[in-house]
Amino acid sequence: MTYSGDRTIVAIATPPGQGAITLVRLSGLQAKEFANQRFRARGQPDWIARRPLLGYFLDCHGNPLDQVLLTFFPGPASYTGEDLVEISCHGSPVVARQLVEGLVELGAHLAEPGEFTWRAFLNGKMDLAQAEAVRGLIESQTAFQAKVAAEQLEGKVSRTLKPIKDEIVRILCQMETALEFVEDEVELQERGELLEALQTADRQLEQLEESFSFGRIVQEGIMVSITGKPNAGKSSLFNALVLDDRVIVTDVPGTTLDAVTETIDLEGIPARLVDTAGIREAKDALEKLGVQKSLEYLRQAEVVLFVLDQTTPFGEEDFRVWDLVRERCCVLVINKEDLPGRLQVPPEVEKACAATVRVSALEGTHLQELRSSLLKAVTREHRIEREGVMITSIRHKHCIEATRKFLQAGIESYGRGMSEEFPLYDFRKALESLGQITGETTAEDILEEIFSTFCIGK
Ligand SMILES: Nc1nc2c(ncn2[C@@H]2O[C@H](COP(=O)(O)OP(=O)(O)OP(=O)(O)O)[C@@H](O)[C@H]2O)c(=O)[nH]1
Ligand SMILES: [Mg+2]
């Protein structure tokens, strides 16, 4: 990838294919000049900032290609910080391509993936964490993911980091001063006080680091395995939760053999439900494979829905399943509540589970309770407030880890009474790692890697 700020770039910004409207974006020094050469306004041809102009986009002979709306965003008050022109044409891939080709003929370059946002970053319109949030927002699959990304785009991560960074800088200055004016009588904070402030900064970073465990779940979702003995009603529950007759249900134990997955939106968290074969001593080779697969998914799952059939006592088969899931984060689902019950759940089982919910998969009762218990089990497992600032990027997590490593090394040597210059080295490194999150101190190749995962036109 070769980004260059000198040239004027062009790309289609809307998804490929037919639609009502396609948007073509043009950004750079010559954006206005190029667009002007191919545009004939219908009324007043005045290019007023951010006001759409109706007119025709012309081919190289001056013949109209399409009626378009053209909007001019003069830099620096534009997405990229440069002169930017947006042309909305009819949503035909052919028309849009001709439009782009026309601009390329004039000297515009086809934009690389993420190049518009890269320029926005370069021109100080947003920091790196915000630029990454642009991608997060585009890729979000649930409303909650979008909310988190929108907050990050608005600068929530950077705002949380700023006071921590400022504090480290302040302490660094104090230490530098102490080092430089050893002989002089300068008013400086005590070593003990500085150490305390550094530890506070470290704790704040630790909190942020921990938020990743939930942030990752928001981003990638969780896997939920529906596990239990044959005929407990796992497939019925699966169908009820995905709101579809997705898998086969019969009264014959051992109906499900293959594992089937489907993703549901659990208040914003994508939850991948897996319906698996009932676990028991397999009757034949096929069932054996099915049970093996159940166990594999069980291992991968973050949460287990341990399904019991309340018309049967808690028997040997249930104990067998329990042995496999007892160490896991389990929600106990007592199914078939519409039928008379003969089930007594052993107290130790109920106690070890995060929650117990009685449902009828057949009649669809208490499924909302089940969904909230499931969500609660996940949030409790990750001890995170849904409202606080949260990091969702593994890159940010690594930067914070590195920052803390240097910070702690510095705290350690400073605490041991070493001369300032040793811990100062670590604290400078800590600041550098912290700066990588927002892009103040990020190496060129890392930047390229980040922006190359964007889509073209963004
Ligand atoms: N009355 C009643 N019947 C249910 C309920 N849930 C499931 N069943 C019935 O129980 C039988 C087994 O249901 P499945 O959903 O196939 O059970 P399973 O756990 O997937 O069974 P395997 O795939 O064989 O392990 C079917 O006849 C369902 O109609 C329920 O809540 N109430
Ligand atoms: Mg089944």
pLDDT band at 420; cut points 50, 70, 90: confident
Please state the rounded mean pLDDT for residues 93-105. 95
**Does residue 385 surpass a pLDDT of 80?**
no
Q: Which residues pair with 27 in a beta bridge?
A: 9, 84
Task: Tell me, using a 6 A CB cutoff, whether residue 235 lines ligand 1.
Answer: yes
Please state the rounded mean pLDDT for residues 272-277. 94
Counting ligand 1 atoms within 8 A of each CB, the residue from 227, 245, 249 with the most, and so the one to mutate, is 249
**Does residue 1 surpass a pLDDT of 60?**
no
Q: Where are the beta strands (DSSP E) in 217-302?
A: 222-228, 260-266, 269-275
pLDDT single digits (tens) 311-341 = 999 999 999 999 999 999 999 999 999 999 8
Most confident of 72-86, 135-149, 413-427: 72-86
Task: Tell me, using a 6 A CB cutoff, whether residue 230 lines ligand 1.
Answer: yes
Q: What is the pLDDT of residue 182?
A: 66
Q: What is the pLDDT of residue 386?
A: 58
Q: What is the pLDDT of residue 384?
A: 57
Phi, psi (degrees; rounded to nearest 5) at 394 = -65, -30
What tokens does 415 get?
Answer: 């605490």
pLDDT band at 271; cut points 50, 70, 90: very high
Counting ligand 1 atoms within 8 A of each CB, the residue from 225, 235, 298 with the most, and so the one to mutate, is 235
Whose Cα sits closest to atom 8 in ligand 1? 233
Task: Tell me, using a 6 A CB cutoff, whether residue 152 lines ligand 1.
Answer: no
**Nearest ligand (C-alpha, residue 309):** 1
pLDDT band at 45; cut points 50, 70, 90: confident
Task: Tell me, using a 6 A CB cutoff, whether residue 392 lines ligand 1.
Answer: no
Task: Tell me, using a 6 A CB cutoff, whether residue 143 lines ligand 1.
Answer: no
Task: Tell me, using a 6 A CB cutoff, whether residue 183 lines ligand 1.
Answer: no
Threshold 0.85, pTM exceeds: no
Give CA–CA dist 135/395, Å, rounded: 14
**Does residue 107 surpass a pLDDT of 70?**
yes
Please state the rounded mean pLDDT for residues 271-281. 93
Tell me, in angstroms, the distance from the centre of ligand 2 to residue 231's CA.
7
Whose Cα sits closest to atom 14 in ligand 1? 233
Please state the rounded mean pLDDT for residues 371-394. 80
pLDDT single digits (tens) 52-87 = 999 999 999 999 999 999 999 999 999 999 999 999
Atom of ligand 1 nearest to the CA of 229: 25
Mean pLDDT of the chain: 91
pLDDT band at 378; cut points 50, 70, 90: confident
**Nearest ligand (C-alpha, residue 236):** 1
Give CA–CA dist 294/298, Å, rounded: 6
Tell me, in angstroms, the distance from the centre of ligand 1 to residue 236's CA.
5
Give CA–CA dist 133/153, Å, rounded: 5
Task: Tell me, using a 6 A CB cutoff, whether residue 236 lines ligand 1.
Answer: yes
Tell me, in angstroms, the distance from the centre of ligand 2 to residue 248's CA.
7
**Does residue 189 surpass a pLDDT of 90?**
no
* Among 62-66, 266-270, 441-445, the least confident range: 441-445
pLDDT band at 177; cut points 50, 70, 90: confident
Task: Tell me, using a 6 A CB cutoff, whether residue 335 lines ligand 1.
Answer: yes
**Does residue 112 surpass a pLDDT of 70?**
yes
Give CA–CA dist 147/267, Å, rounded: 12
**Nearest ligand (C-alpha, residue 230):** 1
* Among 227-241, 247-261, 361-375, the least confident range: 247-261
Task: Tell me, using a 6 A CB cutoff, whether residue 255 lines ligand 1.
Answer: yes
Whose Cα sits closest to atom 2 in ligand 1? 336
pLDDT band at 2; cut points 50, 70, 90: low
Quickly tell me which residue has 């004016």 as its tokens: 181
**Nearest ligand (C-alpha, residue 253):** 1
pLDDT band at 184; cut points 50, 70, 90: low
Residue type, 388: G
Atom of ligand 1 nearest to the CA of 231: 21
| 211 CB-near residues (< 8 Å, 6+ apart) | 384, 388, 389, 390, 391
Q: What is the pLDDT of residue 443?
A: 76
Q: What is the pLDDT of residue 142?
A: 83
- Report the first-to-last Cα separation within the chain, whole angstroms: 15
Please state the rounded mean pLDDT for residues 97-105. 96
Atom of ligand 1 nearest to the CA of 239: 15
Instruction: Work out the percent of the chain whose per-residue pLDDT is above 90.
Output: 67
Atom of ligand 1 nearest to the CA of 256: 23
Instruction: Work out the percent of the chain whose per-residue pLDDT is above 70.
Output: 96
**Does residue 260 surpass a pLDDT of 70?**
yes
**Does residue 8 surpass a pLDDT of 80?**
yes
Structural domains in the chain plus CATH codes: 9-126 (3.30.1360.120), 138-217+393-439 (1.20.120.430), 223-381 (3.40.50.300)
Nearest to 307 by CA among 247, 258, 374, 379: 374
pLDDT band at 456; cut points 50, 70, 90: confident
| 180 CB-near residues (< 8 Å, 6+ apart) | none
What tokens does 442 get?
Answer: 């990020």
* Among 175-184, 243-252, 277-286, the least confident range: 175-184
pLDDT band at 403; cut points 50, 70, 90: very high
What tokens does 31 get?
Answer: 């954006």
Tell me, in angstroms, the distance from the centre of ligand 2 to residue 411's CA.
56
Task: Tell me, using a 6 A CB cutoff, whether residue 251 lines ligand 1.
Answer: yes
Tell me, in angstroms, the distance from the centre of ligand 1 to residue 264's CA.
21
**Does residue 124 surpass a pLDDT of 80?**
yes
Give CA–CA dist 251/235, Å, rounded: 11
What tokens does 152 get?
Answer: 């990050």
Please state the rounded mean pLDDT for residues 185-190. 68
Task: Tell me, using a 6 A CB cutoff, whether residue 233 lines ligand 1.
Answer: yes
Atom of ligand 1 nearest to the CA of 238: 15
pLDDT single digits (tens) 198-213 = 999 999 999 999 888 8
pLDDT band at 220; cut points 50, 70, 90: confident
Give CA–CA dist 100/103, Å, rounded: 5
